[in-house]
Structure 1
Amino acid sequence: MVVRAGLDLLNEVGLEQLTLRRLATELKIQAPTLYWHFKSKEELVDAMATLVLAEGAAGLVPVKGASDWAVWVRTFGMGLREALLKYRDGARMVAGSRLTDTVYMETTERVGQRLVEAGFSVRQAVVLLSTVYTFTVSFVIEEQAVFPRPGERSAAYDLEARRAKLDAKRFPLSRQSGGVLFDRFEQRYRESLGLIVRGAESEG
């Protein structure tokens, strides 16, 4: 109940403004009562991140159990991105957190085993999955900076204002890159994930 309330508060105020004291107020309990469960904001964030990944775990594997390892990797990446986007600052919250249970790990174990069955060494499987994981978290951190809430673009990422600041002669490519870098994130994510998968194929 406390962790769920923490995620609700995260959606309202963002990661910086999330505090144990503020959460206690939302729950209508005394702060010391909450400190009995979580000694610090870091402990609360660990539990929140664990719940987000656990809830998203089912979406990290193909629904119909596809045999193609590349499908498993793409599903893992896209499912992870979807899970992180469900909450404001979801990627920043998960980055660097420590899991408090093994639900998410049970799913990544399944994906890793599928890669090993497909001929990857354990090291290759770990490197590939960790690459997808790290890229996805970083990607969504940037995505959520541009769109703190779904469909609400931050004024700091106004594409026309960015374009107007760049001299056409000195930065012709940069002027055209705004729409690629700061819009249509799902399309760019799929393209980027495809590059990672194709890189893994060439290493196999």
Structure 2
Amino acid sequence: MARTPLSRDAIVDAAFEQLAETGLDGITARALAGRLGVRAGALYYHVRDMTELTDEMATRILRRLLDEPIPDEAAADWRELLRTSGHRIRTTLLSYRDGAKLVSGTTLLDDDALRRLEEPVRVLAAAGMTPLDAQRALVALNALVTGYVIEEQHRHPVPGENRITAEARRARLDPDEQPLQYALSEEMATLPVDTFDWALEALIAGIGVRVGL
């Protein structure tokens, strides 16, 4: 079988395969070169460095998010826009191993995707926010969701693997001296989706108070 010609897209494809197998820390020039059957130096004809590679990977993920149209109910209600966006971001990031860590601090490289960031700001501005408040609300939402998913993926790096268990946490606590934390061990170990919903609704309510809506 003929080898796929080396290209920027082929390198990004290989990086996503590596991500699924080993997580973000396993994406190295040597690992990708071995997967692609080339010398590591050949990669740098197509991507300048590993930062540019992670930018490309993050852009693919963000493009997937931004390609989804805003539902009518979200376009008509700023709270529903933030709520829907929060759940979409979380679901998308969770679908990639280390997805939240991957997108954190990266640069969106796709100009069309960048232009689509206009629409959610427009919806929030139409609801009565200033453009600056609208942008800050979206930044706050993204920070909440990304940070939350980083915590989720730390606890459960792959399905069925739990780095933190309620039993192990309780073993480190004295139920007489720390009864509240002892009782909360299941919550802290699992980070149930109800906790995400609580945090998201608290953020939305706080934004409403902040902007007077």
TM-score (norm 2): 0.88
Report the CA distance shift for 1:196/1:153 in structure 2 as closer, same or farther (over 3 A): same
Q: What secondary structure does 1:166 align onto?
A: coil
Return closer, same or farther for 1:83/1:162 CA change in 2, 3 Å cut-off.
Answer: same
Matched, 1:4 2:13: yes
Q: Deviations over 1:158-192 (max 9, x none)?
A: 11110121011221111122222332532211111
| Correspondence for 2:111 | 102
User: How far apart, CA to CA, are the structure 2 residues paired with 1:16 and 1:45?
Assistant: 11
Paired residue type of 2:179 = P
Tell me, in whole angstroms, the C-alpha distance in 2 between the residues paired with 1:28 and 1:95: 29
Alignment RMSD, CA only? 1.8
1:172 alignment partner, one of 173, 176, 179: 179
> Percent same amino acid among aligned pairs?
34
Which residue is 1:117 aligned to?
126
2:164 corresponds to 1:160: no
SS in 2 for 1:150: coil
Which of the numbers 137, 143, 151 marks the counterpart of 2:146? 137
Give the alignment of 1:63-82 within 5 angstroms. Answer: 66-82=75-91
Within a 5 Å distance, the mapping from 1:29-68 to structure 2 comes to: 29-59=38-68, 61-62=70-71, 66-68=75-77
Q: Which residue matches 1:181?
A: 188
Q: Give the 3 Å change call, closer, same or farther, for CA 130–122 of structure 1 in structure 2.
A: same
Offset, 1:136: 0.9
CA distance in 2, matches of 1:175, 1:60: 44
Alpha-carbon distance between aligned partners in 1 of 2:187 and 2:81, rounded to the nearest angstrom:
26
Structure 1 pair 40–22 and aligned structure 2 pair: CA distance change class (3 A): same
Asked whether the equivalents of residues 88 and 149 of structure 1 are also in contact (C-alpha less than 8 Å), the reply is: yes
Aligned length: 202
Residues 184-199 of structure 1: pairs in structure 2 closer than 5 A:
184-199=191-206
CA drift of 1:120 comes to 0.5
5+ residue gaps, structure 2, are: 1-9
Deviations 1:36-91 (A, max 9, x none): 11122111111101111111224473366541111111111111111111111111
* TM-score for both structures, normalised by structure 1: 0.91
Q: Find 1:84's aligned residue among 84, 89, 93.
A: 93
